[in-house]
Chains A and B, each alone.
Chain A
Amino acid sequence: MGQKEAIQMKNITKRFGSTIANHNVDFEVREGEILSLLGENGSGKTTLMNMLSGIYYPDEGEIFVKGQKVLIRSPHDAFELGIGMIHQHFKLVDVFTAAENVVLGLKHKKTRKEINDSIETICKKYGFDINPNQKVYDMSVAQKQTLEIIKVLYRGADFLILDEPTAVLTPQETDKLFAVLNNMRKDGKSMIIITHKLHEVLSISDRVTILRRGEFIGTVPTTEATEQSLTEMMVGKKVELNIERPEPENSKERLIIEHLSYINEEGVKVLDDINFTAKSGEILGIAGISGCGQKELLESIAGLLHPEHGSSITYINPDKEDHISLLHMNPRRIRQMGVSMSFVPEDRLGMGLVGSMGMIGNMLLQNYAESNSFLKMKKQAKIKAVKVKDKLDVVTPGINTPVRKLSGGNVQKVLVGRELGSNPTVLMTAYAVRGLDIHTSHTIYHLLNKQKKKGTAVIFVGEDLDVLMALSDRIMVMCGGRMNGILDARTTTKEEVGLRMTKIQEDGGADHE
């Protein structure tokens, strides 16, 4: 394929108030190539790409498309230049059909049939499958992503920017997406992929550009890169990338779940007869496409939801080995009964922390009820906040800074730090590393392993199968609210897990240990 520069960005600087998101960044993508844009959280990847797609306007610097200097003032300008971006949070109107979303904002006068025909042509050419008359709210995540790509292609884009396209896909869906991207590359289109996942970078892209803290670090051909070398460029120092997995030591049952079912407010059975045991000194991974009941499972155990009758949740106290039923209790009752359980929810700033409060306030939330004083006792919380900040390297202007102003990784560190501070017997985490860069992710894995060695029963709901398989001892696969087998993480394969995520197996709930 040609080696002509398709898009060049020179000396780009973008500031948001006093923070510099991009500083003197040089960037180029060639015709007919797939370029990966790599960087830690907050390194300015999305900001840089948003300047190409017209969402942001650079404070300084120049952009060239096919050698011509251009000004991109709005998304409309970007379309005119053939640049289309598939955003991480899909930009689709839920109540419109696929076709309506595709033609949104276009001025041409085509009939409904002509539009559907052109969509079909695009689908055939690159291997998509979509129903133009389906409403977006009836679509799966993968379908929505397909629609986003079609939307961009329909507008005749030659340059596609994909922001974290695989974050929400199953391995099978990812393979399908990569096949489509390869087809588009053959067709001479240029693609820029923003991602955290290094193995994907290595498998799909031609070159990799790395940003660190808003600055351009370098571009390397993929053939000359390894996971280790890329990580070092990203982080700026040597990092241990292997996830260790110590053997579980004297495992004892800590949490027994039997026949757990839950029907939500809309009358949908989100959990259907779940049975498993969480053991001390062990990490139990839970795999599944998001929205298959993982959230409800953890919330039922934490006492936030009330499961159906016939369900049973039993906690075994490590001191006296007595059995306590957690069914139909609220979190405070559970705590009062001496159950030591921590929960790191998926929605960090919604359920986990109060965004407008500082670290001290958030530490206080966990055990304010234990103090009998009329006034809040800030002193202990302050000690705790300082401890978490030092131990986990939380980057914050101060322990009183509202936590929503921190970056995603630091918010998670505050939350995890608080939950681990209480020395839980059972620790539940939901998507603990979602949106975190590789460096912070490994910090979290390390913390979980430390808990495991201390004898905590860890339940780890994850989405990255590689991580799940490297970190967990056993993996429970969920599919559509049902459990689809518990596998031994040391012997199972990625394909096996991926398959079970999408299709109920005949041996449904049987153990595979």
Chain B
Amino acid sequence: MANLIAWIIRAVVFGTVVLYGSIGETITEKAGHLNLGTPGIMCIGGAFGFVGAYAYENSVSDPNAALCILIALSLGFISAMIAGLIYAFLTVSLLVNQNVVGLTMTIFGVGIGKFFGSYVIPEGAVSTKASFANSVFSAKLPFLSDLGFIGQTVFSYGFMMYLALIIAISVHIFMQKTRTGLNLRAIGENPATADAAGINVTKYKYLAIAIGSGITGLGGVYYILDYNSATWATAAGNAIESLAWLSVALVIFVRWNTAKAIWGSYLFGLCYWAYAFIPSILGISVNTDIAEILPYIVTIIVLIVGNIRSRKGHQGPAYLGMSYYREER
């Protein structure tokens, strides 16, 4: 039982990082832009969020929790958004190939993140910790989290896990129920149609990419300040990158539905951590490296099954990955 609870908690925390990236990527893809720069953008968000929190608590003698949250989240969000805007400028305005820009963004973002994150590591050390930020970001609900199985698996997380749920559900309602959501989906399905209908395609694309990137950046903040106990190690950038790729896969896995991404991300988490808990629960031994590829294998299987029973309306946006220029002949 204790093992199972620990497994679920690990899975949910892991899934939350993936969920943030997946929500951000979904918003971007609904505008018709495949952003393979997600890992880089998440890394930038994580690094700047951490550096902000670290600098704040080291510069004042009596750090304030609300201010710490505000600084970390806004720095993470805004820095990721700026990275997203660079991607948007290149792909929306200059019509550069989205895959090339995205992959470059990943390389660039991981590099930038590692550089600035590692800047605050004291000389000679390999990692540094923002202890106050950690206590704020991983604070649990005082009473509920003690209440047995439910209390431990549902109420024992830092506030950002619940924030992710709120964002995921709000984004889903926004996409399905609102007029603005309809317009955004139309752009991803057929930008020329949306344009001819009087929708400002460029504005929507920029906003979707910027906001999507910002949310992705929050995933990085969550990874460092909660999941990784507010510790920045020199290798943190690569760890974020490997998780962020999963969030790109999750978008396809749940068919561009951010509400479904919630359980999808937790399933990915369960798969990812299976190697650590399955042996003790079932009493068998599993190769760690093979076990860690489980989420990817699940994605591939789902893709194959999904394509065999493909139904219209459940595919990705029709113009995903294609540039749009009104006066093109």
| 1/0 contact string of A92-115 vs chain B (CB within 8 Å) | 111110001001111101000000
User: Which A residue sits closest to B318, measured CB to CB?
Assistant: A94
A53 lies within 8 A of B196 (CB): yes
B312 lies within 8 A of A92 (CB): no
A105 lies within 8 A of B313 (CB): no
**In the complex, what's the smallest C-beta–C-beta distance from A60 to chain B, in angstroms?**
16
Q: Determine if A85 is an interface residue (Cβ-Cβ < 8 Å).
A: yes
- Provide the bound-state CA to CA distance between A53 and B326, in Å: 12
- Which among A16, A53, A100 is the interface contact of B329 at CB below 8 angstroms? A16
B199 lies within 8 A of A105 (CB): yes
Q: Which of B10-18, B186-194, B208-216 contacts A (4 or more CB under 8 A)?
A: B186-194
B313 lies within 8 A of A95 (CB): yes
Q: A76-B198, A87-B196, A91-B196 are in contact. Are A104 and B186 (CB under 8 A)?
A: yes
Q: A55-B327, A94-B189 are in contact. Are A104 and B318 (CB under 8 A)?
A: no
- Which among B182, B193, B200, B318 is the interface contact of A91 at CB below 8 angstroms? B193
**In the complex, what's the smallest C-beta–C-beta distance from A85 to chain B, in angstroms?**
7
- On chain A, the residues within 8 Å of B199 by CB distance are 76, 104-105
Q: Determine if B156 is an interface residue (Cβ-Cβ < 8 Å).
A: no
**In the complex, what's the smallest C-beta–C-beta distance from A374 to chain B, in angstroms?**
35
A85 lies within 8 A of B196 (CB): yes
Main secondary structure on A side of the interface with B: loop
Q: Determine if A64 is an interface residue (Cβ-Cβ < 8 Å).
A: no
Q: Determine if A56 is an interface residue (Cβ-Cβ < 8 Å).
A: yes
Q: Determine if B179 is an interface residue (Cβ-Cβ < 8 Å).
A: yes
B182 lies within 8 A of A135 (CB): no
Interface core residue of A56, A94, A105, A135 (most chain B CB under 10 Å): A105
A105 lies within 8 A of B312 (CB): no
**In the complex, what's the smallest C-beta–C-beta distance from A228 to chain B, in angstroms?**
32
- Provide the bound-state CA to CA distance between A137 and B190, in Å: 13
- Which among A55, A76, A79, A94 is the interface contact of B312 at CB below 8 angstroms? A94
B186 lies within 8 A of A55 (CB): no
**In the complex, what's the smallest C-beta–C-beta distance from B199 to chain A, in angstroms?**
4
- Provide the bound-state CA to CA distance between A87 and B192, in Å: 11
B196 lies within 8 A of A100 (CB): no
Q: Determine if A75 is an interface residue (Cβ-Cβ < 8 Å).
A: yes
- Provide the bound-state CA to CA distance between A87 and B196, in Å: 10
Q: Determine if A74 is an interface residue (Cβ-Cβ < 8 Å).
A: yes
User: Which B residue sits closest to A21, measured CB to CB?
Assistant: B329
A105 lies within 8 A of B318 (CB): no
A93 lies within 8 A of B189 (CB): yes
**In the complex, what's the smallest C-beta–C-beta distance from B26 to chain A, in angstroms?**
16
Q: Determine if B183 is an interface residue (Cβ-Cβ < 8 Å).
A: yes
B196 lies within 8 A of A95 (CB): no
User: Which B residue sits closest to A89, measured CB to CB?
Assistant: B192
- On chain B, the residues within 8 Å of A93 by CB distance are 185-186, 189-190, 193-194
User: Which A residue sits closest to B199, measured CB to CB?
Assistant: A105
**In the complex, what's the smallest C-beta–C-beta distance from A70 to chain B, in angstroms?**
16
User: Which B residue sits closest to A56, measured CB to CB?
Assistant: B327
- Chain A residues 142-196 with CB under 8 Å of chain B are 151
Q: Determine if B292 is an interface residue (Cβ-Cβ < 8 Å).
A: no
Task: Sort chain A's interface into a size bin.
Answer: 20 to 34
- On chain A, the residues within 8 Å of B197 by CB distance are 75, 91, 104-106, 151
Q: A91-B190, A95-B189 are in contact. Are A104 and B183 (CB under 8 A)?
A: yes
- On chain A, the residues within 8 Å of B329 by CB distance are 16
User: Which B residue sits closest to A108, measured CB to CB?
Assistant: B179
- On chain B, the residues within 8 Å of A57 by CB distance are 327
- Chain A residues 101-133 with CB under 8 Å of chain B are 103-107, 109
- Which among B183, B189, B198 is the interface contact of A79 at CB below 8 angstroms? B198
- Provide the bound-state CA to CA distance between A53 and B327, in Å: 12
Q: Determine if B195 is an interface residue (Cβ-Cβ < 8 Å).
A: yes
Q: A103-B179, A104-B183 are in contact. Are A95 and B195 (CB under 8 A)?
A: no
- Provide the bound-state CA to CA distance between A95 and B313, in Å: 5
Q: A53-B196, A79-B198, A91-B196 are in contact. Are A135 and B313 (CB under 8 A)?
A: yes
- On chain A, the residues within 8 Å of B198 by CB distance are 74-76, 79, 105-106
Task: Sort chain B's interface into a size bin.
Answer: 20 to 34
B189 lies within 8 A of A105 (CB): no
**In the complex, what's the smallest C-beta–C-beta distance from A336 to chain B, in angstroms?**
36
Interface core residue of A55, A75, A100 (most chain B CB under 10 Å): A75
- Provide the bound-state CA to CA distance between A187 and B304, in Å: 54
A104 lies within 8 A of B312 (CB): no
B313 lies within 8 A of A75 (CB): no
**In the complex, what's the smallest C-beta–C-beta distance from A378 to chain B, in angstroms?**
31
**In the complex, what's the smallest C-beta–C-beta distance from A334 to chain B, in angstroms?**
33
- Provide the bound-state CA to CA distance between A177 and B307, in Å: 38
A104 lies within 8 A of B193 (CB): yes
**In the complex, what's the smallest C-beta–C-beta distance from B174 to chain A, in angstroms?**
15
User: Which B residue sits closest to A79, measured CB to CB?
Assistant: B198
- Chain A residues 213-268 with CB under 8 Å of chain B are none
- On chain B, the residues within 8 Å of A91 by CB distance are 190, 192-193, 196-197
- On chain B, the residues within 8 Å of A75 by CB distance are 195-198
- Provide the bound-state CA to CA distance between A16 and B329, in Å: 9
**In the complex, what's the smallest C-beta–C-beta distance from B232 to chain A, in angstroms?**
43
User: Which B residue sits closest to A17, measured CB to CB?
Assistant: B329
A137 lies within 8 A of B183 (CB): no
- Provide the bound-state CA to CA distance between A109 and B178, in Å: 10
B183 lies within 8 A of A105 (CB): yes
- Provide the bound-state CA to CA distance between A296 and B179, in Å: 41
- On chain A, the residues within 8 Å of B196 by CB distance are 53, 55, 75, 85, 87, 91
- On chain A, the residues within 8 Å of B312 by CB distance are 94-95, 135, 137
- Provide the bound-state CA to CA distance between A94 and B317, in Å: 11
- On chain B, the residues within 8 Å of A96 by CB distance are 182, 185-186, 189
User: Which B residue sits closest to A104, measured CB to CB?
Assistant: B197
- Provide the bound-state CA to CA distance between A462 and B190, in Å: 30
- Provide the bound-state CA to CA distance between A163 and B255, in Å: 36
User: Which B residue sits closest to A53, measured CB to CB?
Assistant: B196
Interface core residue of B192, B194, B198 (most chain A CB under 10 Å): B198
- Provide the bound-state CA to CA distance between A75 and B193, in Å: 10
| 1/0 contact string of A343-355 vs chain B (CB within 8 Å) | 0000000000000
**In the complex, what's the smallest C-beta–C-beta distance from A358 to chain B, in angstroms?**
20
- Provide the bound-state CA to CA distance between A103 and B193, in Å: 12
A92 lies within 8 A of B200 (CB): no
- On chain A, the residues within 8 Å of B185 by CB distance are 93, 96
- Provide the bound-state CA to CA distance between A107 and B183, in Å: 10
User: Which A residue sits closest to B327, measured CB to CB?
Assistant: A56
- Provide the bound-state CA to CA distance between A409 and B14, in Å: 59
- Chain B residues 189-242 with CB under 8 Å of chain A are 189-190, 192-200
Q: A104-B199, A105-B199 are in contact. Are A92 and B313 (CB under 8 A)?
A: no
User: Which B residue sits closest to A151, measured CB to CB?
Assistant: B197
- Chain B residues 245-303 with CB under 8 Å of chain A are none
- Provide the bound-state CA to CA distance between A75 and B202, in Å: 13
| 1/0 contact string of B314-329 vs chain A (CB within 8 Å) | 0000100000001101
- On chain B, the residues within 8 Å of A95 by CB distance are 189, 312-313, 318
User: Which A residue sits closest to B313, measured CB to CB?
Assistant: A95
Some 8 contacts from A to B, beta carbons below 8 A apart, are A74-B198, A76-B198, A92-B190, A94-B189, A96-B185, A100-B182, A104-B193, A137-B312
Which 8 A-B residue pairings sit nearest by Cβ, starting from the closest? A105-B197, A76-B198, A91-B193, A105-B199, A105-B198, A104-B197, A93-B189, A95-B313
Q: A91-B190, A94-B190 are in contact. List 18 more A-B contacts (CB 8 A).
A: A16-B329, A53-B196, A56-B326, A74-B195, A76-B198, A76-B200, A91-B192, A92-B190, A92-B193, A93-B185, A94-B312, A95-B313, A95-B318, A104-B182, A105-B186, A105-B199, A107-B179, A135-B312
